[in-house]
Copies of this chain bind each other. A is one copy, B any other.
Amino acid sequence: MDSTAQTTLNALNAPTQAPSFRPLYDQIKILLTQSLIAGEWKPGESIPSETDLAARFGVSQGTVRKAIDQLAAENILIRRQGKGTFVATHTAPQHQYRFLRIFANNGEKHHPTTRFIDLKKGKASAVAARLLDVKIGTPVITLRRVLVFAGRPLILDEVVVSAARFPSLTLELAEASRGSLYSFFETHYGVRMIRAEERLSAVSADVFAAEQLGVREGAPLLAIDRIAFTYGDKPVEWRRGLVHTDGYAYFNELA
C-alpha cells in the first residue's frame, strides 16, 4: 500500500477530526477490538496470523504487529511464538485469578475457594448507579461471599452487577461453577473483564465482617473497592472486598 493510505483510512474513521492524526495501527487495533466484541474470535481461540490480518486490512505485517503488540500488552491478546495469537480468557488456569493481588507473606499466590453467603435482587443506589454507569433504580444483583485461603476465611466480598447483563443469575448457578467469578461470567454470560480499578483503604470490622472472617469487631481490615470494565471501558461490576490481612498482603509493583 502506498503512503497515502494512512491518511485515507484516517479520514474515513476520523471522529469529528479530533486528534487531527490517528496512526494506522491504532485503527487496526480498533478493528481488532470490534471483531473481539462481535465474537468473531472467542476467548481461548486463536486469531488469524499476522500475515492474514495484514492482507485483510490492506496494511503491512509490521503495522498489524504493532496493533497486536499493544493488545497483548493490555492482556487482551496473548502471543505464543510458533503457535499463534490467542484471545485471553479468565478460564485459563494461569489467568483464573488475574486481578487478585493478595499474596501470602512468603510470596506464594494461593487460589482461594469460595463460600457463597447470599444473593439479593434490588435497585441501584446512587453510588452503584454512578459506578456501574446505569440509571438509579436499575435492577441490580448483589452477591456476597467469603474467599477462603488455605482453609482460612480472609476476604468478605460484596459484588454488585446489573441484572440486565446477568439474567437469571442465581446462587445455585454461581455455586455450581468452579473457579473465579470472572471465569464464570465469561463462560455463562459472555462478559469478559478487561481491566479494573481498585481503591484501598483501612476500615474497622463491623459485626457481620467480624463474624464472617473470624476476627473481633473493630479489627482493622483492608477494604478494596473495585470497578471492573469490559470492552470499551464499560463498567460492569462493582465490588467491595474486606480483607483480613493476617499472613497475607496486597502486593503491587510500581514503575
- Residues in A lying within 8 Å of B, measured CB to CB: 74-75, 98-99, 101, 103, 105, 194-204, 218-223, 225, 243, 245, 248-255
Contacts and interface: CB of A to CB of B under 8 A. Distances in A.
Contact of A220 (B75, B98, B220, B251): B220
Given A220-B202, A221-B202, A197 B255 contact: no
Given A196-B254, A225-B249, 12 more contacts: A74-B255, A195-B254, A195-B255, A198-B253, A200-B222, A200-B245, A200-B250, A200-B252, A201-B248, A201-B249, A203-B220, A204-B220
B101 A201 contact: no
Given A218-B218, A220-B220, A220-B221, A202 B251 contact: no
A204 B220 CA distance: 6
* Max count, chain B CB within 10 A of own CB: residue among A99, A200, A219, A254: A254
Nearest to A249: B199
Contacts of A222: 200-202, 222
A71 to B, nearest CB: 11
Copies, count: 2
* SS of A interface (majority): strand
Nearest to A107: B199
Nearest to A62: B62
19 contacts: A99-B254, A103-B199, A194-B255, A195-B254, A197-B252, A197-B253, A198-B254, A199-B249, A199-B250, A199-B251, A200-B200, A201-B250, A202-B203, A202-B220, A202-B221, A204-B219, A204-B220, A220-B221, A225-B249
Contacts of A250: 199-201
A72 to B, nearest CB: 11
* Max count, chain B CB within 10 A of own CB: residue among A99, A103, A197, A245: A245
